[in-house]
Amino acid sequence: MTTYFDTLERSYVDVDLSKGINTEQFLQATEGLVKLFDLLGSSAFSVVQKDMNGNIKKIRDRYLTNPSANATLQDLMATEAPEKKRTATEGLLWLTRGLDFTAQALRRSVDNPEEELTVSFTQSYEQTLKKFHNMLVRPVFALAMKACPYRKDFYQKIGVTNEAGLAQMKQWLEALENIIRIIQEVFKANPAYIKGIKRKWDQDDNNSDKSPSSKISKVETDPKKAVSEAAARINAMLAQKSTYDDGLTLSPGKEGEFVKNIPINELKNRYMLTRGATQTQIQQETGADVITRGKYYPDISLANDREPPLYLHITAPTKAALDKAVAKIEELIETAQVPQPGTGFSSRDDKPDGMKRPERKFFEKRLPVEVSGTPHFNLRAKIVGPNGAFVKHIQQETGCRVQLKGKGSGFYEASTGVESDEPLHVHLSCIREEGLEAGIKLTQDLLDTVKAEAERGPPQGYKRGYDNTSRGGYNG
């Protein structure tokens, strides 16, 4: 009987290791491994496949720039080491972690004939990838492991139904394990190769007790539905890879600006993090600008490229300012303290003698929108401006946080998850009274201009379906 291993273009057994791990042969063998996940028979593993294929591409792109200089993986890492951005090495690091996860799962399965794949893959995840994943990803991956087929069905699919097939599988697995071990030893001997490399899923805290994965089975009673949703959620996150990149990057067109994005769609206190008062205080304390982007999805699998899941976009002139802002946001996420209107958020009560940071007052104002929208007059779009340009201008000029709220605003209240029933209005908040006054003036000028335009009626050449993707309160 033909086995899966017979169909491979190249087996790990055939990868040349004499001068180092042959780069092209390693990539060919790994492309064969990626196809193994098709035989697991669940869309949940498309997450793993997509990530592995992306990392394979990073390595091959580097290899093709100079095949002779990058002939082995060791050569490739060494030649890329002096560079600031080590894309191929990052790809190899995460590809190796994925291979280690796969190898350990299959090793458990081979060594424990009575163990189902769900157990093998779950235990492997606990020992390998979990420690590198943050608290948002851990439970989703843990649930995806439940998509594994029955052991006997999987072994039937890969053609391992007798001792000869099992021996072939063991030989392939041993070769894979050896290659993983060699790569890991290179990383260990050369820590500079991977210094500073961090991706969207990375987690510095290895305390698995903080993970809610143990509660996953109680959330969804239909395993097939739960697994499908888990795969969709992770794929949505992968689709936004550039959005959720946790590394420091240069913002396009703004050389020297440090940028970081933090996903908040699934955080319980996400609305506190999107409040103007919260973000203004972060700006005042750290010098970094924080704005809310994306859209809130109760079901993250509905996210798409045009409207990604809700996240915070942080920009700062220096790395120190960025780090300070990120630390403040992470503290808010951890403490989940929601500030009351008119006050700043409080720090944790961890100072000597019960001392707390003094509360900081925010000045706030609501300006009613006394204009009626029509099918030919997109009121929200007129106020917010193209891609939030009008709101952003007011914020940049005055330091105010400007949010469109109420009916038709697109702003979802924290307490209800829907728009407020209040009439449409613009909410301004600022830590400085003079800043608020300046913001009020600019906002009122904007509202007067919009009102005058509405009273003039639709312009000639109006085209139905005016497109503006800004969301009141979430852009700008």
Per-residue 3-state assignment (H helix, E strand, C coil) for the chain = CCCHHHHCCCCHHHCCCECECEHHHHHHHHHHHHHHHHHHCCHHHHHHHHHHHHHHHHHHHHHHHCCCCCCEHHHHHHHHCCCCCCHHHHHHHHHHHHHHHHHHHHHHHHHCCCCCHHHHHHHHHHHCHHHHCCCCCHHHHHHHHHHCCCHHHHHHHCCCCCHHHHHHHHHHHHHHHHHHHHHHHHHHHCHHHCCCCCCCCCCCCCCHHHCHHHHHHHCCCCHHHHHHHHHHHHHHHHHCCCCCCCCCEEECCEEEEEEEEEECCCCCCHHHHHCHHHHHHHHHHHCCEEEEECECCCCHHHCCCCCCECEEEEEECCHHHHHHHHHHHHHHHHHCCCCCCCECCCCCCCCHHHCCCCCCECEEEEEECCCCCECCECHHHHHHCHHHHHHHHHHHHHCCEEEEECCCCCCCCCCCCCCCCCCCEEEEEECCHHHHHHHHHHHHHHHHHHHHHHHHCCCCCCCCCCCCCCCCCCCC
Structure tokens at 405: 């709220």
Instruction: With a cut of 90, say whether residue 169 has pLDDT above it.
Output: yes
- Residue 42's pLDDT is what? 61
- Residue 352's pLDDT is what? 46
Same domain, 19 and 168: yes
Residue type, 181: R
Final residue before a domain boundary, out of 354, 383, 400 = 354
The reply to whether 56 falls in a domain is yes
The reply to whether 386 falls in a domain is yes
Same domain, 338 and 431: no
pLDDT higher at 156 or 222: 156
- Residue 456's pLDDT is what? 76
Same domain, 46 and 158: yes
Please give the tally of structural domains in the chain.
3
pLDDT higher at 38 or 18: 18
pLDDT digits (tens, 9 = 90+) for 335-371: 654 444 434 444 444 444 444 555 556 788 999 988 8
The reply to whether 205 falls in a domain is no
The mean of the pLDDT values for the chain is 77
Same domain, 333 and 396: no
Indicate the range of 133-147, 250-264, 310-324, 335-349 predicted with least confidence.
335-349
The reply to whether 294 falls in a domain is yes
Mean pLDDT of 3-24: 94
Which domain, by its residues, includes 231? 4-198+219-239
Residue type, 420: S
Instruction: With a cut of 80, say whether residue 48 has pLDDT above it.
Output: no
- Residue 305's pLDDT is what? 66
pLDDT higher at 384 or 73: 73
Nearby residues of 84 by Cβ (< 8 Å), 6 or more positions away? none
CATH code at position 412: 3.30.1370.10
CA–CA distance, 166 with 289 (Å, rounded to integer): 58
CA–CA distance, 207 with 182 (Å, rounded to integer): 27
Indicate the range of 186-190, 264-268, 318-322 predicted with least confidence.
264-268
CA angle 87, 89, 93 (to 5 degrees): 120
Final residue before a domain boundary, out of 175, 209, 239 = 239
The reply to whether 51 falls in a domain is yes
Same domain, 328 and 396: no
Same domain, 350 and 367: no
Same domain, 41 and 145: yes
pLDDT digits (tens, 9 = 90+) for 392-438: 888 888 888 898 888 877 777 766 667 778 888 999 998 888 889 88
Same domain, 299 and 227: no
Mean pLDDT of 120-133: 88
CA–CA distance, 86 with 95 (Å, rounded to integer): 14
Same domain, 138 and 175: yes
- Residue 257's pLDDT is what? 65
CATH code at position 126: 1.10.3520.10
pLDDT higher at 199 or 328: 328
Instruction: With a cut of 60, say whether residue 227 has pLDDT above it.
Output: no
The reply to whether 30 falls in a domain is yes
The whole model's pTM is what?
Answer: 0.48
Same domain, 166 and 132: yes
Same domain, 274 and 228: no
Final residue before a domain boundary, out of 320, 354, 388 = 354
Nearby residues of 275 by Cβ (< 8 Å), 6 or more positions away? 339, 401, 429
Same domain, 234 and 372: no
Indicate the range of 8-17, 283-292, 334-343, 410-419 predicted with least confidence.
334-343
pLDDT digits (tens, 9 = 90+) for 229-247: 555 555 555 554 444 444 3
- Residue 345's pLDDT is what? 40
Question: Confidence class of residue 474 from pLDDT cuts 50, 70 and 90?
Answer: very low
The reply to whether 204 falls in a domain is no
Nearby residues of 321 by Cβ (< 8 Å), 6 or more positions away? 258, 286, 287, 288
- Residue 236's pLDDT is what? 56
The reply to whether 465 falls in a domain is no
